Amino acid sequence: MQSRLIVGLLVSACLNHSLSAQGAAEYRLKAAFVFSCMKFVEWPQQAFKLPTDPLTVCILGKNPFGNMLAEAVEGRTIGDHPILVRTLSGLSSAAGCHVLFVSASERKNFTSILDATGGRGLLTIGDSDPFAAIGGVIDLKLEGGKIHLRINRAAAEEQHLHLSSKMLGLAEIVGPAK
């Protein structure tokens, strides 16, 4: 009986390790996608006070990346903008953000978050349904071990963001058309 318990615990530990390793690989890939997407976005001029101001990526909710997003952008720039990563304690501390990654932990608040951030020149990115369909700009969807982009063009227009046709050509377009 005791040996079954030990075997059960070992199997459970191995499965949990495998799932956490799988989750880590998923978010390492998503971190790379966040950076790649940023390269194909033009922010409105008023989004930056100076041409060399940092481009700030903020994470709202439980941070699924750990340090992976900060590591993915470390030492990199978009144009003349160095990239900074911040984890927010709440939406009220989102001033100065250019990219807002909204964690799945905030799913019940998606609508209110998107309503509160509308028109600010903010690239909103999520990774759970129905983020882009209800007004987020980009949704990173994991399917079959690959990341698929879902983009809401109307939401990008509302945020005064210009998205590259190259990125749009690789994405599924969701949400209402304007």
Q: pLDDT by residue (tens digit) across 23-62?
A: 788 999 999 999 999 999 999 989 999 999 999 999 999 9
118 contacts: CB under 8 Å, gap ≥ 6: 135, 158, 159
Neighbours of 82 (CB within 10 A): 15
Q: How many helices (H) and strands (E) does the chain have?
A: 5, 10
Task: Say if CB 138 and CB 116 are below 8 A apart.
Answer: no
pLDDT value for 7 = 29
CATH class of 2-173: alpha beta
pLDDT tens digits, 84-103:
999 999 999 999 999 999 99
Would you say 107 and 69 are in contact if contact means Cβ atoms under 8 Å apart?
Answer: no
Average pLDDT over residues 15-21: 35
Taking only the tens place, the pLDDT of each residue in 102-119 is: 999 999 999 999 999 999
Classify 169 as helix, strand or coil.
Answer: helix
